[in-house]
Amino acid sequence: MEQQSARLRNTGFLTFFFSGICAISAGVVVSLLQERYGFAYGVTGTLLSLMSIGNLIAGFLVGVLPGALGMKRSVLLLTIGYAVGYSLMGLTGAMAVLALAFFLVGIAKGSVMNTCTILVSDNSANRTRGMNLMHSCYACGALLCPFLIAAAARVSTALAVFLLAVLGLMLWLVYGFTPLGGGSRKTARTKEVIDWSFLHAPRFWLLTGLLFCQNAAEQSVTGWMVTYFKGSGIIAGSLAAYTVTVMWGATLVARLLIAFVFPFKNPRKAMVGMSVLCTVFYVLLVMAHTQGAAIALLFAFAFSMAGLNPTAVASAGRMTSVTSMGIMLPAASSGAILMPWIIGIVAEKAGLAAGMASNIVPCVGLIIFTLLVARLPEE
């Protein structure tokens, strides 16, 4: 039994590492595709938003499909999106095909996230440590992705995206050879009365708003920063892709420090501090004119942002349930759909610098929501 649990847990670690490479590479790949095909900034924002839409829909599909297809078939159907999506990107620059490709990558990203969470949390004696290690695996993959993409892109953009397709296929094969559950037989379960009282709790909606702003600000930086640095000339094109490594290096360091070295004594006050720092560092980031300043401020922004999401989710306290999280997290992730698209629209109308400056809005939103959450009574 322990051996089986270890195998499933390690499958979660390994596939989340692969997902870190494949998911975070999308922001670098969209910049390469823009250079290759010359499409407008609005198209870039739309492609990134379609990926976030796929990620959102995957959260619902993972909850519905296993009842009809079984766990393993559902996982295999949804996670093939990485291999298919990146393969399509390497074949053509047709907008309809690229739109489908980014949507499929988003489906795979969300499906892997849900699957890995189940595999690790259900098979770890210490869930907190298990989940932190899982997210560290994702961050390690995100750190590695720019080096792989940059090396492959020196040959051609097509090679870079096909490399990601191969990694996506490897992820899919790991699931294929792992016992994830049976076929379509439904497990008999005792019906439980779902408690919907959280919908009337201010805490629920304030945390949802906080996470909406966090998703919006973070995904906009992840998806647009490489394009911004290259387009503005602040960082040379060959080096701009490595800014993803800077961001995820800061995220990895911060999350490990929070989890194992400096746990928060007052998490809600800590969130206020983090949101203020995020906003200050982001404003300075979009004002930066030198390579050194831009990299240092990007690191500081990511370091400040890293603890917000897990701390906010933990602040839900007794309200945490499958139902409440099933509404809160997908609703919050819509911020990652909306803001990158808005940046693309603003960039087309007023320039890329103005587009990136518009991301200050969700950063200020973070301050407002964390202040409101901090004023809530203790549970």
Q: What is the pLDDT of residues 243-294, one digit of tens each?
A: 777 888 898 888 888 877 777 778 888 899 999 999 999 999 999 888 889 9
Q: What is the predicted pLDDT for the residue at 282? A: 96
Q: What is the predicted pLDDT for the residue at 320? A: 55
Contact 72, 180 (CB under 8 A): yes
State the Cα–Cα distance between residues 312 and 329, nearest whole angstrom.
11
Query: Mean pLDDT, to the nearest integer, of 350-365?
Result: 94
pLDDT tens track for 49-64: 899 889 888 877 876 7
Residue 188: is it exposed, middle or buried by C-beta count within 10 angstroms (0-12/13-18/19+)?
exposed
Confidence of residue 22 (pLDDT cuts 50, 70, 90): very high
Q: What is the predicted pLDDT for the residue at 321? A: 55
Q: What is the predicted pLDDT for the residue at 187? A: 41
| Longest CA span, the chain | 62
Q: What is the predicted pLDDT for the residue at 190? A: 40
Query: Under CATH, domain 195-379 is a member of which superfamily?
Result: MFS general substrate transporter like domains (1.20.1250.20)
Q: What is the predicted pLDDT for the residue at 229? A: 83
Residue 121 predicted with pLDDT over 50: yes
Q: What is the predicted pLDDT for the residue at 333? A: 81
Q: What is the predicted pLDDT for the residue at 301? A: 96
Residue 192 predicted with pLDDT over 50: no
Domain range list for the chain: 1-178, 195-379
The more confident residue out of 106 and 187 is 106
Distance in Å from the first CA to the final CA of the chain:
37
Q: What is the predicted pLDDT for the residue at 103? A: 96
Question: Does the domain spanning 1-178 belong to CATH 3.40.50.10890?
Answer: no
81-95, 112-126, 148-162, 189-203 — which is least confidently predicted? 189-203
CA distances from 288 to 187, 291, 362 (A): 57, 8, 20
pLDDT tens track for 285-342: 999 888 889 999 999 999 999 888 877 876 776 665 545 666 777 788 889 889 988 9
Residue 181 predicted with pLDDT over 70: no
State the Cα–Cα distance between residues 56 and 304, nearest whole angstrom.
25
State the Cα–Cα distance between residues 257 and 260, nearest whole angstrom.
5
Contact 207, 331 (CB under 8 A): no
User: Please, what is the average pLDDT of the chain?
Assistant: 84
Q: What is the predicted pLDDT for the residue at 325? A: 63
